[in-house]
Amino acid sequence: MYKIVNSAVLADNIVRMEIEAPRVATHCQPGQFLIVRLDDRGERIPLTICDYDRKAGTVTIVFQEVGASTVKMAALQTGDTFADVTGPLGKPSAFLSEDLLDLMDKKILFVAGGVGTAPVYPQVKWLHQNGVDVDVIVGAKNKDLVILEDEMKAVAGNLYITTDDGSYGRHGMVTQVIEDLIAEGNHYDQCIAIGPMIMMKFTCLLTQKLGIPTIVSMNPIMVDGTGMCGACRLMVGGKVQFACVDGPEFAGNLVDFDQAMKRQTLYKTEEGRAMLKLKEGDTHHGGCGQCGGEA
């Protein structure tokens, strides 16, 4: 059993939980995810890691209530437990394998949309702790849905908040802020975008036009987190990839977002899943190969 040591509501239907999971905390890196289960019969829910404390042996998750399982999760309080916490899973952020001096010479822009702010935070925090300051754009529908602002301010070189309705920060989409920053004379060597699929798609269309290499995290399409369900199958550079096993990060200009979004809609129904399985044959499943567990 894995104890919840702290639970807090960040915004409407968005919850942050700190969980005792020493093995995950010891081994996880920015960009990776874990899988939680409420009980022995519970759904496997993959969630990117928002933060971790190796000394305390805890990991932090942030999730939005979007279905029955996450609604049940949100009802848990400090002191309650999860039956399982499995991880770390997925590949760490690519920049962790780069030379630190090279990273210091780069100008990096992070773009976070909605709950995508949660997986952006540990990446920005790691870079800050290693002497690399980056710019961060956080976008939300309105002021009430802006999360982790204070935490992000503490680690970002420059933080730009934008809301769709103009109720807080700048008015408009994250893509408008990118264009504004470039118009103001800023130069970026790389962009890392995490958020809703449609946001990542249009961010990549813009950054490709601007000549900024962009990495995206395809965690929004993961379901079981091992490749066995086939949910996160996508086309990257014309090749079949699975977000949970091969990613979750990919070169944004190579991702077929239109195919991924259409497929995501089909996967939501039983008939749609059957059709995808029939059509995709042996490539429908990605296999596992990363099962580790907490114990």
Let me know whether 105 and 136 are in one domain.
yes
The Cα–Cα gap between 262 and 228 comes to: 20
The Cα–Cα gap between 51 and 197 comes to: 23
Q: Which of 89, 104, 133 is the last residue of a domain?
A: 89
- Number of domains into which the chain is organized: 3
User: Does some domain include residue 177?
Assistant: yes
Domain that holds residue 141: 94-217
Identify the CATH number of the domain in which residue 39 sits.
Answer: 2.40.30.10
The Cα–Cα gap between 8 and 62 comes to: 10
Distance from the first to the final alpha carbon of the chain: 11
The Cα–Cα gap between 148 and 49 comes to: 14
Let me know whether 252 and 270 are in one domain.
yes
Amino acid at 241: Q
The Cα–Cα gap between 37 and 30 comes to: 22
Q: Which of 74, 89, 104 is the last residue of a domain?
A: 89
Which 3 state secondary structure label does DSSP give 236?
strand
Q: Which ranges of 112-256 does DSSP label H, i.e. alpha helix?
A: 117-129, 149-153, 174-183, 197-210, 243-246
The Cα–Cα gap between 148 and 282 comes to: 41
Let me know whether 108 and 210 are in one domain.
yes
Let me know whether 226 and 190 are in one domain.
no
Let me know whether 155 and 68 are in one domain.
no
Let me know whether 117 and 204 are in one domain.
yes
pLDDT in tens, the chain (295 residues): 999 999 999 999 999 999 999 999 999 999 999 999 999 888 889 999 999 999 999 999 999 998 899 999 999 999 999 999 999 999 999 999 999 999 999 999 999 999 999 999 999 999 999 999 999 999 999 999 999 999 999 999 999 999 999 999 999 999 999 999 999 999 999 999 999 999 999 999 999 999 999 999 998 888 777 777 778 889 999 999 988 889 899 999 999 999 988 887 776 677 776 777 777 788 887 765 444 444 4
User: Does some domain include residue 294?
Assistant: no
Let me know whether 67 and 125 are in one domain.
no
